[in-house]
Amino acid sequence: MTRTTTSYRSGTPAVHAGFAQQLRAEWTKFRTVRGWVAGLAAAALVIVLIGLIGAHTERPTCEDPNQPCTGARGPGGEAVTDRFYFVHRPLTGDGSITVRITSLGPEGAKGGLPPWAKAGIVLKAGDRAGSAYAAVMATAGHGVRMQYNYTHDTAGAPGAVSAASPYWLRLTRTGDTVTGYRSADGARWTVVGTARLTGLPSQVQAGMFTASPPATESTSQKFGGLSNRGAPTRATGVFDHVALSGAESGDAAWHGEQMGGPADDFASDGTFRRADDTFTVTGSGDIAPAVGGPMTAGGQTIERSLAGTFVGLILVIVVGATFITAEYRRGLIRTTLMASPGRGRAPAAKAVVLAAVTFAAGLPAAAAAVLLGEWLVRPGGFDFPVGTLTELRVVAGTAALLAVTAVLAMAVGTVLRRSAGAVTLVFAAIVLPYILATASILPAGPSQWLLRVTPAAGFAIQQNMPQYAQVDSDYTPAFGYFPLPPWGGFAVLCGWTAVALGAAVFMMRRRDA
């Protein structure tokens, strides 16, 4: 007799959780663990509170609430330096001004001049600091240039000006358009550049100017170096063959004026002398965008209100690491992996959930820190010299910085399976290089190298003060300038995170199968 044995089969098919179900499971884990929720809430609160403390501490008192305490605003709202000596007359409607410049040198013919010392002609909307302008000029070290509205700079001809090799300069106005020209002989003219100054008033001030920015002085520290703006300088420009064509109004005499107040805290106002058709104009200061580090001449930078990001980032690292290491410590990782047919799905789901909740916590925190900080300092006339798009990028970028860092900590935690080791390693990769680079512990060269190749490059997403070729300054991490552009630095952090996630998936497949 043959017995037939039939195995039992369940009518319910075996089902592995899809990615959507796994996302839901990871979200449920996160929101049910009070420590993780409290950690992100604490990070958000720290970002806001430290930002408010920093803004309140730096809140100044100004005599004029409509102007920043230590600087002026340009036409685009940017912080600018607008201090130079100006010899001018009014020009109404269309017209032009032409001069020949035969000399540009230091006052008294002693020492040298900064490369961006300049003398030339300018059409300026008014005598208010920060008003619109267009200028064509000879510089001490960069040849002929056309500059307008502080942030724009166009190269003309190379070479220094001298009595043996003078430059002829001309500016013409047609409506809101100003064109700059140069010539070697006053007969054949070459266009240097064109500027469109929207809203230029009918009457402008036209004339000659001289400016000389402070020389850069370097001071060294025990473990690194800082460079500071130092010794004031004064330049003298000599002009002749001065011709102003167009409709003039008011006093037709040439009037000399120190624009923007004293040229420098340690330098006297400029002067001018006229002998027949020759004008000798001496001045100090600059007409250029304001730069110089965390506290600029135009206002408190937005990074100051986001100083709490640094502390909030540490809390985020702890949350990100323990989001996975807690499962290894309690043996729950087997349950998580049983629901996933592929070892890459589990870390991917954790990364998505962790990034989303961290970004959701960081975005309102960064926005509140910036808006409240700006509200605190604005009554003193000391606000952020940034545009709306830049502000949005900094706020959203700060939230993204926190989110990607959390994922990096989670990935490292997956590889090490230990909370302490993961937190320490991520701290050493992000926080430590940032401290070494920005606190002047290392010289500028190594500091810039650290912020190019380590995950700390991601902090560049918060930078809002651009570097200007026409301004010599200390564009180093110690003064808030990163060697990579904002999104370039953030991409470096994302690259490290992608590598860490790849290592996490590899280790899960090799070790946790």
CA distance 136 to 146: 4
Considering only CA atoms, which of 428, 425, 402, 395 is closest in space to residue 413? Answer: 425
* 313 and 280 share one domain: no
Residue 228 lies in a domain: yes
Where are the strands (E) in 107-150, listed by range?
Answer: 118-124, 133-139, 144-148
Tell me if 130 is assigned to some domain. Answer: yes
Residue 7 banded pLDDT, cuts 50, 70, 90? very low
Give residue-wise pLDDT tens across range 440-489.
788 888 989 999 999 999 999 988 878 888 988 878 887 778 999 999 99
pLDDT for residue 10 is more than 50: no
Same domain, 199 and 277: yes
Helix ranges (DSSP H) in 331-460: 333-338, 345-377, 388-416, 419-426, 432-438, 444-453
Looking at the structure, tell me whether residues 284 and 310 fall in a common domain. no
Query: 103-162 pLDDT, tens per residue?
Result: 999 875 556 789 999 999 999 998 888 899 999 999 999 999 999 999 999 998 888 888
- Asked whether residue 143 falls in the same domain as residue 44, the answer is no
Distance CA 102, CA 280 (A): 10
**121 within a domain of the structure (yes/no):** yes
Residues 445 and 313 both lie in one domain:
yes
Distances (CA, A) of 341 to 13, 14, 75, 278: 15, 12, 60, 87
Examine the domain organization and report whether 311 and 281 are in the same domain: no
Q: What is the number of other CB atoms lying within 10 angstroms of the CB of residue 353?
A: 23
- pLDDT category, 71, cuts 50, 70, 90? low
Question: Is 361 in the same domain as 440?
Answer: yes
Q: Examine residue 122 and state whether it is found in any structural domain, yes or no.
A: yes
Asked whether the predicted pLDDT for residue 382 surpasses 70, the reply is no
In a domain, 5, yes or no: no
Residue identified by tokens 């809140």 is 59
Examine the domain organization and report whether 247 and 348 are in the same domain: no
Asked whether residue 126 falls in the same domain as residue 46, the answer is no
Q: Looking at the structure, do residues 329 and 391 belong to the same domain, yes or no?
A: yes
- 435 is a domain residue: yes
Three-state secondary structure call for residue 62? coil
The neighbouring-strand residues paired with 349 are none
Taken in order 168, 253, 273, 118, the sign of the CA dihedral is negative
Q: Which residue has the higher pLDDT, 205 or 330?
A: 205
282 plus 148 within the same structural domain: yes
Q: Select from 191, 105, 97, 186 the least CA-distant residue to 144.
A: 191
For 320, other C-beta atoms within 10 Å of its C-beta total 33
Question: For the domain that residue 89 is a member of, what is the CATH number?
Answer: 2.60.120
Domain that holds residue 282: 73-289
Which of 289, 319, 344 lies at the terminal end of a domain, its last residue?
289
Average pLDDT on 267-283 reads 87
- Is residue 35 domain-shared with residue 104, that is, in the same domain? no
* Maximum C-alpha span of the chain: 135
- Total domains in the chain come to 2
Q: Examine residue 4 and state whether it is found in any structural domain, yes or no.
A: no
